[in-house]
Amino acid sequence: MTAGFLIAAPASGSGKSMITTGLMAVFAEEIKVQGFKVGPDFIDPMYHRAASGRPSYNLDPWMLTPAQNWQTYNGYAQLADLCITEGVMGLFDATGADPLENSTAGIARLLGLPVILVVDCTRMSGSAAALIHGFHTWSPEIRLSGVICNRVASVRHERLLREAVEQTGVPIVGMVPNQKDLVIPSRHLGLFTVTERESAVAEYIAALKPVIRAGIDLPLLLQVGETAAPIPVSNPPQVIAVNDGPADTAPKEFPQSPRDNTITNRRKVRIGMAYDQAFCFYYESNLQLLREAGAELVLFSPMTEEKLPDDLQMLILGGGYPELYAQHLAENHSMLESIRAFAAQRQPIYAECGGLIYLTEGIHSEDGVLHPLTGILPGVCHMQKKLIMGYRTIRALYENWLFPPETAFRGHEFHYSVWENPRPEGAFLETRSARTDEPPAVNGYAKNNILASYVHIHFAQNPLLAQNFIRKAQETL
């Protein structure tokens, strides 16, 4: 039987990422731990993977249907002894008025997971109990099975918290002291990624583990996990060997989800995938679905390598922070020329967010300097202070190799840059915000087998997505 629980919090910034990462690292020393992340987050799953040694998968209550979320969770849960799911924002924070729809709480209800609430107890004692009582009683459909008091200031503070919280009837699973030195560093763009500071992340996790062992009742937490809804037995997914890149960037083993492979009769295609400090935002489910459909993903670095790998049928340029490494990218002239030559042959290229930036004529950094890039797309990008973020419904306006026209898909945007496109006739996507009061927009770029937009897409929402990648790549063989 696979145990499982969900780590949630009253609000962002409570410390759930630190607690989740630490718990994964400690439990993974003895058992197989599978991580999941609620919401459209790329960085937390990187820390999950560094801690557990296994890829972490996104569950998304807005981009994916309940059945798709359940299928993702169930498929990988079968391969582990313990599943730890990290929530997003506050437990009941949703995109609409219903706190159990499109929220962390909704995922907990769907999967039958007990919830562990991480509470930032800074400058609180008895009031923490009132907050916990509210979360405990707000919805009878959510099992609040334990609380971890985080950022406890002293022995006296801990005593006051225990005396108050015990009155709520919610078990205290842990008391974690304030760890100013163990906060994952962040900036206006979000947390630093693992690819940007691999050695520092290893040191961070090593320092975090004794704090977790000392502050959290691990046997009690496992007992809570054993109350999770049982995982239905189905055909277990295989564990397949992967040789997609250097040993320090590619997993040695990768769990394969239990899905039908609809493209089995033709030769595998080699798809180049940008992966380095500038490009590292990929949903693990997307990569696995591409592999299952018939892709060999070949990692390459636009920052450090001189040219594309040989014999590629397609390129994927994912999101990341190219704006932070614009000078390095601009100075790698041979790689820029290699990608221009690939595009000139009308080979298919798919780019999301940071990948779109890389395909433009360049990006103006915050200090106003223009860093020339591939120039495959017209116009340049500019950094701004305003964050563009939110879920999007997208619809293709005309025929292209990936999105069937008039078929709606869902995605997410998160960027500070804007693209000034002097020739907007290439725009092919209509995007609508999940907020109904915002008008639709037309954006993206589709021309000569290149598809690019700011929207990140979760492929698990429709089997056509991964399959269409492979079909298009196979046309070039």
**Would you name the residues annotated as active-site residues?**
353
Three-class SS of residue 258?
coil
| DSSP letters for 5-21 | EEEE-SSTTSSHHHHHH
Helix (H) or strand (E) holding 203: helix 198-215
Alpha helices in 241-399 (DSSP H): 284-293, 326-331, 333-344, 354-359
| Cβ contact 180:150 at 8 Å | no
Which is it for strands 408-420 and 370-372: parallel, antiparallel or unpaired?
unpaired
Helices (H), 31-187: 43-52, 66-77, 104-111, 126-138, 155-165
Q: Residue 301's closest CA among 370, 345, 349, 358?
A: 358
Which pair of tokens denotes residue 39? Answer: 């919401």
Q: Please give the backbone phi and psi of residue 246, each rounded to the nearest 5 degrees, phi first.
A: -60, 150
Which residue intervals of 6-118 are DSSP H helices? 16-27, 43-52, 66-77, 104-111
Core vs surface per residue 416-437: b (16+ CB within 10 A) or e: bbebebeeeebbbbbbbeeeee
Q: Say how far apart CA 114 and CA 107 lie, in whole Å.
A: 11
By C-alpha distance, which of 434, 475, 471, 426 is closest to 453?
Answer: 426
Among 177, 228, 170, 165, CA closest to 6: 228
CA gyration radius, the chain: 23
CA atoms within 13 Å, Cβ hemisphere of 475? 11
DSSP-H helix ranges across 243-384:
284-293, 326-331, 333-344, 354-359
Element (H, E) at 211: helix 198-215
